[in-house]
Structure 1
């Protein structure tokens, strides 16, 4: 059974040793601004993967990758000397995709912020399509409309009563004939 805590400790130690050795002992002019970002060691402690980033363009990244491959033997012997493990792990250098992923995420966040700002501007200049209060409440206008209808009915009944009761008829005192 492998001890993952031991593998983590060895990975951390390899990361430090490789970074210091690159800074102090490796004098390859192809080696640019290299940063060791992470190191992972297999459970049997025989293989180590070293993740790195390079500040610069694609040409500088390719040159730094070639410089790391040529310095692999020196780096492995230094790791073996400083870690004191029975079997010195083989080193594999992998360009870390972290900066590219971070740039992609930053671009997406900037695009989202721009869209949010556009929506915010649209919302501040916007007006309601209908009334400010979309819920209908009884208002004074509705009550006035009902009163007008009552008056119209009363006016119609007043006119009908005027025709039947007012004025002289042929027969006095009797019912009006139709």
Structure 2
């Protein structure tokens, strides 16, 4: 079983690399701006792939990019078929990855808490 799991991970990594290249060079949809693919998860039967992406911009930009990616999914699958040596090319499901935004938000909260603690203690109270 571990061998099959490692093959799934290798296929997911290869799909991520190929999709990043295809989106950068071949997709001409203006709704899809500068985005970064953060990960790909492939199901055990290779029928479906969750493609996680992130991008700068507001909620409206994320919505437009999601629609553009869903519209281009057939085009991307066709090109993946020619680039990958797989019998089954998975259906692509694009999911916006909010983990980076959550990380920045938590980091800001921590910085704010530390700065408030420093003003409450005072400089003389620090060890």
* TM-score, structure 2 as length reference: 0.89
The structure number with the bigger radius of gyration is 1
Give the Å deviation of 1:119: 3.5
Which position in structure 1 is the counterpart of 2:124?
Answer: 124
Cα distance between partner residues in 1 of 2:100 and 2:8? 26
Mapping 1:5-154, distance limit 5 Å? 5-121=6-122, 124=124
**Equivalent residue of 1:49, what SS?**
strand
Give the Å deviation of 1:23: 0.5
**Equivalent residue of 2:50, what SS?**
strand
Cα distance between partner residues in 1 of 2:6 and 2:100? 28
Cα distance between partner residues in 2 of 1:117 and 1:12? 44
Give the 4+ runs in structure 1 shifted more than 2 A. Answer: none
Alignment gaps of 5+ in structure 2: none
**Equivalent residue of 1:124, what SS?**
coil
Which one has more relative contact order, counting CA pairs under 8 Å at least 6 apart?
A: 2
Give CA deviations for 1:118-161 in whole Å, capped at 9, x if unaligned: 2331x617xxxxxxxxxxxxxxxxxxxxxxxxxxxxxxxxxxxx
- Number of residues paired by the alignment? 124
Cα distance between partner residues in 1 of 2:117 and 2:99? 27
Question: Please, which moves more after superposition, 79-88 or 9-18?
Answer: 79-88
Question: Please, which moves more after superposition, 13-22 or 72-81?
Answer: 72-81
Q: CA RMSD in A?
A: 1.6
**Equivalent residue of 1:71, what SS?**
helix
Cα distance between partner residues in 2 of 1:41 and 1:12? 10
Cα distance between partner residues in 2 of 1:6 and 1:80? 17
